[in-house]
Amino acid sequence: MAIVENIRDWRGKDVLDPEKDKIGRLEEVYFDAETDQAMFLVVRTGVVSHHHILIPAGGVITSPNDVTVGVSKDAVKSAPRVELGGEFSEEDEVQAFRYYGFDYAPAATPSGRRLVRR
């Protein structure tokens, strides 16, 4: 397991599932607004028709060339799709948290959003 000094170094790496099947390429990382912990990776999938999906950031293992996540490729096939660069609505956040079985509560921030890009 590699130590990554800056989580932004993960961008552009291939994202693999635990069986080393390629899911896609890492585009962005979203953090919890209250704890500043990485919560979700935005991964670009598909060869012809590109989609961006959320994958939990917990348990990520990095190497010089890729990022291995703790969920299978099959498990993310129906994952919530997102648009790059934007702020999620509360509905989008709730959907992502629930899809992966996480509890959701709005953040105690002025926007109430739980997920932020850094």
Residue 1 in domain: no
Structure confidence at residue 5 (pLDDT):
52
The band of 3, judged by pLDDT with boundaries at 50, 70 and 90, is very low
Asked, for residue 68, whether it belongs to a domain, the answer is yes
Per the structure, the complete domain to which residue 58 belongs is given by 7-117
Q: How much of the chain, in percent, has pLDDT values that exceed 70?
A: 91
Place of tokens 């997920």: 115
Q: What CATH number is attached to the domain comprising 105?
A: 2.30.30.240
pLDDT for 22: 95
pLDDT, position 99: 94
Residue 2 lies in a domain: no
Q: Quote the CA–CA distance of 13 and 6 in Å, as a whole number.
A: 13
- The stretch 51-76 carries a mean pLDDT of 91
> What is the model's pLDDT at position 55?
94
pLDDT over 70 at 4, yes or no: no
Count of structural domains within the chain: 1
Range with top average pLDDT, 29-33, 66-70, 75-79: 66-70
For 97-117, the pLDDT digits (tens) are: 999 999 998 888 887 888 888
Between CA 113 and CA 75, with CA 62 as vertex, the angle to 5 degrees is 60
C-alpha separations of 2 from 12, 65, 66, 67, 76 in Å: 16, 10, 10, 10, 24
